Structure 1
C-alpha cells in the first residue's frame, strides 16, 4: 500500500483536462480579469500605504515624488519633508510589505501542494523557528558572525537555512521524502527550535532583550530601509514567484497525489526537494527582513483558490497579489491603531486572518 494512501486528501482536486474549449476560454478570461483587478487594487493600496500616516501626504504628491525619483527631475509642488517621508521612510516599508506578503502567500500555496494539506503554511517546516533562534542569539548575546550591521538579518537567514537542512535530512529516508514524513518532521523541528528560542530568552536574563525578541517574533516592517526591501523583492518576485509559476503543472500533479505525479512524469521526491530549497531560501530572506508574520501563507492561498480555481498556473499569481494587498493593509493598521505606538504586524495579520479562515471553513463545511 502506498505510504500516503491512508491520508484523506484535503486539497481540492485540480480539474481534469476538458474538451470544452469555450469553457476554458471563459475561465481564462475570467481569471485574467481577476488578476487585473487584483493588480489595480495592489497599486492603489501601495499609494495609500505611502500616503497614510501621522503626516498625511496627498496621493497626487506621492505619485509626483515617485515619478521624480524614478524618472529623474525635481518632484515639483512638494517640500523636502514630504519627499523624505515618502521616499526614505514609507516607500521602503511598502516595497518590503509587497515582497513579504507575496512571498508568504506563494510559499504557502506551494507547501499546501507539497504536503497535500490545506493547513500547511510557510512556517510549517520549522523555518521560522530556525530564523527565530538565530536572531535570538544575536539580539540576546551579541553574536554578530562578522556581519556587522547585517548581523540580525544574517543570523536569522542562516538559522532558517539550518532548520530547512535539518528537516530535509531527517525527513529523507531510503531516498524518499513523503508528504506525511515531511509534515511531521517540520512540526517536530519547529517545536524543538521554538523551545530553544524560549530557553535563550530565559538564559539571557535581559528584559529588554526579551522584549526585542518578542517584537521580532511577531513581525514588523518598521526597520525597512532601501537595500533590504529590494533584496526581498528580487528573491520573491524574480526567483520564487517566477519559478513556482513555471512549475505550476508539476504542482498540480503533486497536489493530486504521488501516484498521479509519477504517471505524469514527475518524481515526487525530487520535486519536493526542489520545492523545499526554493521555499526555504524565500522564507529565509523574508523572515530575516521582517521577522515572523503568520497567517498570510495559510489564509491567502485559500482565498486565491476561491477566486481563480485550483490550477496553480492561476493560484500562484493570484496568491502573490492577494498576499501583497493583505499585508499592506495589515501593516497600515499596525501603524495607525495605537498611534504613536506601533503594533507588531503579526498580531494584526492573525486578528484579520482568523475570521477569514473561519468563514472559509464554514463555507467548505456548512454542516460543521
Structure 2
C-alpha cells in the first residue's frame, strides 16, 4: 500500500520531465557502443579461426601494427600474415559490409512501407537482384568488367522494388497482405527464371549459380571489398537526411505531409538507396535471407522505433550477425562449409514465425 501523500514509484519517475528520453538515449549509447565492441571482438576471433589457426593476440597486434601502433604483442609469422591479410580479413570485411547493407536496407524498407514484416528477401527484392546477377553469368556479358554483375543486379533489384511498391499501393496506402503476397509471387517467378537458366547452363556456370542461390562470402577479395564499400557508403548517406522524416512518416502519410515531408520523393530516394544496398550485397554474397528482417526488430526492442538510432544500429547489428553466421557456417561442420544463406534462414525462419504470430495476436487477425 502506498502511504498517503506519497506518489507511486512509477508515477514519480514518469513525472520527471525528460526521464523517458534520457533512458532511451542511454540505451542507444549502450547499444551502439556494445555492438561496436562486439563487432570488433568477433572480427578478431573470426580472422584467427580456420584450418591455419592464428591466436587472437597476434591478429590484434597485426591490425594495430598496420595503423602504426607497435609493440602491443607478438606479430604473426610470414605464413600466418599471408593467410590473415589475403584470405581471412577480406572475408571478415565483406561479411560485415554485406550484413550492414542488408540490415539497414531492411530497416529502411520497414519504415517506408510502415510494415514490420517487410524485408528485401521477403518481398522478392533479393531474388530479383539475384536474377540480374545470374543473367550476366548465364550470358557471359562483361561490358562493364567487374561492375557488370552489380550493375545488372542493381537494375533488376530496383525494378523489382518499384514493382512491388506500386502493386502493393491501393487508394493511397500500402496494403500489408498485398505486399507479402506480391513478394511470394515475385520469389516464385525469380525462382523459375533461375531454374530455367540453371537447366541450360554448363557445369561451371551451374556452380556459380548455386553460389548465388545459397549465399557465401568464401570468395572474398580486397578488390570485391573495394567495390561494395562505396555502395554501402552511398546507401548510408541518406540516414542523417531522412531518419527524422521516417519518424514523421510513422505517424501516417497525412500528418507527415502536413509537417512538411515530401512523402513520395522520400520514398523514391529511400527505395533507390535500399535497392543499391541489397543489389550490392546480393552481387557479392548471393541470396542471404532474413538479416534485414531480424536485425531491425531486435534493435527496435532495445531502443524503440526512432530511426536516428535504428538505422545505424541496424547496420552494426547486421554486420555482427552476418559475421557470426559466417563464422558458424565455416566451423560447425569443418572442414566442410555450410552455405551462409542456409545458416541465416535457419536462424531467421523461426523468428519470422514469431513475428507473424505476434502481429496476428496484436491485431486480432488479418481481416
TM-score w.r.t. the length of structure 1 is 0.83
Q: Does 1:159 align with 2:153?
A: yes
Q: Partner of 2:124 in structure 1?
A: 126
After superposition, what is the alpha-carbon deviation per residue over 1:115-136, rounded to whole angstroms, capped at 9, x for unaligned?
1211111234533223322332
**Contact 1:119-1:298 within 8 A present in 2 as well:** yes
Aligned partner of 2:47 in structure 1 is 50
> How far has the Cα of 1:277 moved from its partner?
0.8
Q: Name structure 2 gaps, 5 residues minimum.
A: 1-14
Q: Give the corresponding residue for 2:271.
A: 276
| Cα distance in 2 between the residues matched to 1:239 and 1:38 | 22
CA change 1:39–1:166 in 2 (3 A) is closer
Which residue number corresponds to residue 332 of structure 1?
327
Partner of 2:227: 231
Larger-gyration structure (1/2): 2
**Alignment partner, residue 201 of structure 1:** 198
Instruction: Give distance in 1, aligned partners of 2:220 and 2:152.
Output: 20
Distance 1:30 1:180 in 2: 33
Q: Name which of structure 1's ranges 180-189 and 78-87 shifts more when overlaid on structure 2.
A: 180-189
Distance in 2, Cα, partners of 1:163 & 1:48: 34
Could you say what secondary structure the match of 1:256 adopts?
A: coil
Structure 1 residues 168 and 261: CA distance shift in structure 2, 3 A: same
Offset, 1:94: 0.6
* 1:127–1:109 distance in 2 versus 1, CA, 3 Å: same
CA deviation digits over 1:49-93, x for unaligned, max 9?
Answer: 101111211111001211233438899642111101111111011
| Counterpart contact for 1:245–1:317, Cα < 8 Å | no
Give the direction of change, closer, same or farther, for the CA distance of 1:336–1:170 in structure 2 (3 Å limit): closer
Q: Residue 100 of structure 2 aligns with which residue?
A: 102
Partner of 2:56: 59
CA contact (8 A) 1:163 1:189 kept: no
TM-score of the aligned structures, taking structure 2 as reference length: 0.83
Aligned in 2, Cα 1:271/1:177: closer, same or farther, shift over 3 Å? Answer: farther
Partner of 2:216: 220
Q: Residues 161, 257 of structure 1: CA spacing in aligned structure 2 closer, same or farther, 3 A cutoff?
A: same
* Equivalent residue number for residue 305 of structure 1: 300
Tell me whether 95-104 or 210-219 shows the greater mean CA deviation.
210-219
State the alpha-carbon separation in 2 of the partners of residues 50 and 308 from structure 1: 30
1:168 aligns with 2:166: no
2: CA distance, partners of 1:312 / 1:351: 28
What's the counterpart of residue 247 of structure 2? 252
The runs of 5 or more residues in structure 1 that have no matched partner are 1-17
Which of 142, 145, 152 pairs up with 1:145?
A: 142
Pair 1:25 & 2:19 matched: no
Return the alpha-carbon distance in structure 2 between the equivalents of residues 208 and 234 of structure 1: 30
1:243 pairs with one of 235, 238, 243: 238
CA–CA distance in 2 between the matches of 1:329 and 1:286?
17
Q: Could you say what the CA RMSD is over the residues aligned between the two structures, in angstroms?
A: 3.0
